[in-house]
Amino acid sequence: DGGITQSPKYLFRKEGQNVTLSCEQNLNHDAMYWYRQDPGQGLRLIYYSQIVNDFQKGDIAEGYSVSREKKESFPLTVTSAQKNPTAFYLCASTRTARTNSPLHFGNGTRLTVT
């Protein structure tokens, strides 16, 4: 079955540490996205990539970094510069980079930083 795999499901880190969240897709989708979800806030776009070796900042990119070295993979690093990193992080992909292409989401990673 094709899909998006995010790991781990739960992640705990100490303040000041960088942490990398994994996202892998086997759907052969061109575009990949990272969203952050906080209670009552909906989904906010962190970064997205429409093609390998290229990515763009979303609405809340500060304190985050990404890479897209392979079509299947789009890891997100939450750096120590992110002031409020505790959140639910969702990775998604779309078949094409067009905005009318539906998003397919992974199961998410819940990050807790203390």
Partner 1 sequence: GQQVMQIPQYQHVQEGEDFTTYCNSSTTLSNIQWYKQRPGGHPVFLIQLVKSGEVKKQKRLTFQFGEAKKNSSLHITATQTTDVGTYFCAGASGYSTLTFGKGTMLLVSP
Binding residues for partner 1, rule: CB under 8 A, are 33, 35, 40-45, 48, 58-59, 90, 99-100, 102-108
Q: Which is nearer to partner 1, 37 or 80 (CB)?
A: 37
Residue 80 has what DSSP assignment? T
Q: Could you give the 3-state DSSP secondary structure of residue 11? A: strand
d(C-alpha 37, C-alpha 87), whole Å: 6
Question: Least distance in Å: CB of 19 to partner 1?
Answer: 20
| Residue with smaller CB distance to partner 1, 33 or 74 | 33
Instruction: In whole angstroms, give the CA distance from residue 70 to residue 88.
Output: 24
How far apart are CB 38 and partner 1 at their closest, in Å?
10
